[in-house]
């Protein structure tokens, strides 16, 4: 354990936490003067307070972002934007342990996972730093007497509404391409995890970002998120969160004809063929459902398994579950707490429903607590076997450490089960047969398919869902196009001939 993690675990908090909105390059109390608290899910205790914003704070942040958009930010060349983003990546890496410990305390995840998230945030800034001066337009052949070209312009002020499960990496994957494109930002982190989006403000300022280009307003979805996404000054909303909220964000944005990207939920299948390396598949899926206690939109929430391999898979998987340590995130266990009492209640409700329905619970199935303290909001890593397509636990996103096992007999049935929910975010495929792998990749409805390694890829790969999993793609150069709009210019260059 690092010294910072150890002292934080001992004291229950840490000094130097930001607590106010970041607007126009400085810290500001909420206009109303109100505050709210952030809780450590590993102990269930409040450890920090922060500004509880409302529409007045949103207005101040949008005003600052609009002024920066038409003023100081526009005067900065794309190559200089790239240098600012690259310095941001370096500064995040230099402060990585502080970021990781804050993230761990705020959202509960094991500090080792938080370190990976912080590294991926740095990598997002590094990746888009290189893209600032490369998203050029086209010249279009109209004929000898014309010059026609297209220009990629920044869309304007962008709003970023962020959930509590991957706060810093989700913030970075939206903010870095927006800044790279020349846009300005108002970010609204989740009320459960406001801190790392605020830390990023100081880092960006240190890296040389002009005041007003990145702003953060903290508070609830109703009091800050809703006025932000319905503000007429916002040109694009990047929303990550639940389907229900995503729908209301889209409706609010539509009233101003504001574009949206929606990264919503998932109930992703990992299709395991009997010809694959079952040991590798079991180890991968263990990580892909129990990372962040299953609170991952792209978790491998369903194993769709060829019946011939079901028993072997379950043996290996359950043996893996028995090795998982559970505890406070700062002790860096394999499984940490879930983020809130609400989330714990939701998971418990789904599992109790399955139990009442007669579903076989192979392992886990109950709430628990930190074995060292008896505190915190924990749920045991759980496996539900022979789950039917129509079962509530198969159709809904539980967003917790609960794996559903769904056997199949032939590949058509595998595809039918994989595609049997309203979600279509990602999918895993495990097979040693090249043709089967690509047939499944073709036939499974998903924004991203991983073959023989769940979560293969990084910021370079476009990510997003189909159907109820969302609209649009983030990450990759595709993700930067959300923040650019094309202007076409067509000019006559020589006088018109008169006859």
- Smallest distance from the beta carbon of 322 to ligand NAD, in angstroms? 28
Tell which positions 189-228 bind ligand NAD, by CB under 6 A. Answer: 190-191, 220-222, 225-226
Kindly provide the b/e burial profile for residues 13-38, where b requires at least 16 CB atoms within 10 angstroms of the residue's own CB.
ebeebbbbbbbbbeebebbeeebbeb
Residue 150: how many CB atoms within 10 A of its CB?
15
Q: Look at residues 410, 405, 369, 373 and name the one whose alpha carbon lies nearest to residue 389.
A: 405
Strands 382-385 and 360-363: antiparallel
Q: Exactly one of 229, 347, 414, 415 binds ligand NAD (CB under 6 A); which one?
A: 229
Q: Which is nearer to ligand NAD, 101 or 262 (CB)?
A: 262
- Smallest distance from the beta carbon of 220 to ligand NAD, in angstroms? 6
Q: With contact defined as beta carbons under 8 Å apart, do 185 and 214 qualify?
A: yes
Tell which positions 439-498 bind ligand NAD, by CB under 6 A. Answer: 470
The single residue of 104, 107, 297, 404 carrying the catalytic annotation is 297
263 is a catalytic site residue: yes
Tell which positions 14-53 bind ligand NAD, by CB under 6 A. Answer: none
Site string for ligand NAD, 67-86 (x = CB under 6 A): --------------------
Q: How far apart are CA 152 and CA 18, in angstroms?
A: 36
Q: Exactly one of 59, 95, 248, 452 binds ligand NAD (CB under 6 A); which one?
A: 248
Q: Exactly one of 58, 155, 161, 176 binds ligand NAD (CB under 6 A); which one?
A: 161
107 is a catalytic site residue: no
Q: With contact defined as beta carbons under 8 Å apart, do 335 and 301 qualify?
A: no
Q: Which is nearer to ligand NAD, 216 or 330 (CB)?
A: 216
Provide the H-helix boundaries in 45-166.
55-70, 78-94, 96-107, 111-129
Q: At what angle do helices 96-107 and 111-129 cross, to 10 degrees?
A: 120
Q: How far apart are CA 494 and CA 160, in angstroms?
A: 46
Q: Which is nearer to ligand NAD, 20 or 188 (CB)?
A: 188
The single residue of 113, 223, 263, 397 carrying the catalytic annotation is 263
The token pair at 301 is 């929430």
- Smallest distance from the beta carbon of 315 to ligand NAD, in angstroms? 30
Q: Which is nearer to ligand NAD, 190 or 354 (CB)?
A: 190
Q: How far apart are CA 332 and CA 335, in angstroms?
A: 8
The token pair at 385 is 């076997």
Tell which positions 280-299 bind ligand NAD, by CB under 6 A. Answer: 297
Q: With contact defined as beta carbons under 8 Å apart, do 125 and 139 qualify?
A: no
From the list 23-31, 263-271, 387-395, 477-485, the region that binds ligand NAD by CB under 6 A is 263-271
Provide the H-helix boundaries in 378-474.
392-395, 411-418, 434-443
Q: Exactly one of 179, 183, 238, 249 binds ligand NAD (CB under 6 A); which one?
A: 249
Q: Which is nearer to ligand NAD, 266 or 336 (CB)?
A: 266
From the list 97-105, 160-168, 304-312, 450-458, the region that binds ligand NAD by CB under 6 A is 160-168
Q: With contact defined as beta carbons under 8 Å apart, do 150 and 138 qualify?
A: yes
- Smallest distance from the beta carbon of 34 to ligand NAD, in angstroms? 16
From the list 20-28, 82-90, 185-193, 355-363, the region that binds ligand NAD by CB under 6 A is 185-193
The token pair at 435 is 């043709």
From the list 48-56, 64-72, 241-249, 428-436, the region that binds ligand NAD by CB under 6 A is 241-249
* Beta strands, E only, 348-455: 360-363, 367-368, 378-379, 382-385, 402-408, 423-424, 426-430, 448-451
Q: How far apart are CA 236 and CA 466, in angstroms?
A: 19
Q: How far apart are CA 293 and CA 368, in angstroms?
A: 13
Q: Exactly one of 242, 363, 368, 396 binds ligand NAD (CB under 6 A); which one?
A: 242
Which positions lie near ligand NAD, rule CB under 6 A?
A: 161-166, 188, 190-191, 220-222, 225-226, 229, 240-242, 245, 248-249, 263-266, 297, 397, 399, 425, 470
Q: Which residues are catalytic?
A: 263, 297
């Amino acid at each position: 354990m690092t010294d910072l993690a150890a002292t934080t675990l001992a004291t229950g908090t840490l000094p130097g936490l930001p607590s106010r909105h970041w607007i126009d390059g400085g810290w500001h109390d909420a206009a109303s003067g109100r505050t709210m608290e952030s809780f450590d899910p590993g102990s269930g205790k409040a450890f920090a307070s922060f500004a509880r914003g409302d529409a007045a704070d949103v207005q101040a942040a949008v005003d600052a972002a609009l002024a920066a958009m038409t003023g100081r930010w526009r005067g900065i060349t794309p190559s200089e934007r790239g240098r600012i983003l690259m310095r941001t990546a370096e500064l995040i890496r230099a402060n990585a342990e502080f970021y990781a410990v804050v993230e761990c305390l705020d959202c509960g995840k094991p500090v080792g996972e938080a370190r990976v998230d912080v590294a991926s945030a740095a990598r997002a800034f590094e990746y888009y730093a290189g893209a600032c001066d490369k998203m050029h337009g086209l010249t279009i052949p109209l004929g000898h007497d014309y010059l026609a070209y297209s220009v990629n312009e920044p869309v304007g002020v962008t709003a970023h509404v962020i959930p509590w499960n991957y706060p810093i990496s989700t913030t970075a994957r939206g903010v870095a391409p927006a800044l790279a494109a020349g846009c300005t930002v108002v970010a609204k982190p989740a009320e459960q995890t406001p801190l790392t989006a605020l830390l990023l403000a100081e880092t960006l300022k240190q890296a040389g970002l002009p005041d007003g280009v990145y702003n953060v307003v903290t508070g609830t979805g109703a009091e800050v998120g809703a006025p932000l996404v319905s503000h007429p000054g916002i040109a694009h909303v990047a929303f990550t969160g639940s389907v229900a909220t995503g729908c209301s964000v889209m409706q609010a944005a539509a009233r101003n004809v504001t574009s949206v990207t929606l990264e919503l939920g998932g109930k992703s299948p990992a299709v395991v063929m009997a010809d694959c390396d079952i040991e590798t598949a079991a180890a991968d899926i263990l990580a892909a459902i129990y990372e962040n206690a299953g609170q991952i939109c792209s978790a491998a929430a369903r194993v769709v398994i060829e019946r011939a391999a079901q028993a072997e898979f379950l043996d290996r998987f359950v043996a893996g579950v028995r090795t998982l340590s559970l505890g406070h995130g700062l002790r860096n266990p394999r499984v940490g707490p879930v983020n809130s009492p609400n989330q714990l209640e939701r998971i418990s409700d789904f599992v109790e429903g399955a139990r009442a329905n007669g579903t076989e619970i192979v392992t886990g199935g109950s709430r628990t607590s930190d074995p060292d303290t008896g505190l915190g909001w924990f749920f045991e890593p759980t496996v539900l076997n022979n789950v039917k397509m129509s079962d509530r636990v198969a159709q809904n996103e539980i967003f917790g450490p609960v794996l559903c096992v769904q056997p199949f007999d032939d590949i058509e049935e595998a595809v039918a089960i994989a595609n049997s929910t309203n979600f279509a975010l990602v999918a895993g495929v495990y097979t040693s047969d090249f043709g089967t792998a690509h047939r499944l990749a073709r036939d499974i409805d998903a924004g991203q398919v991983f073959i023989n390694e769940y979560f293969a890829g990084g910021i370079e790969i476009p990510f997003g869902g189909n159907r109820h999993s969302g609209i649009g793609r983030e990450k990759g150069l595709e993700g930067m196009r959300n923040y650019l709009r094309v202007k076409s210019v067509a000019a006559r260059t020589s006088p018109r001939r008169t006859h």
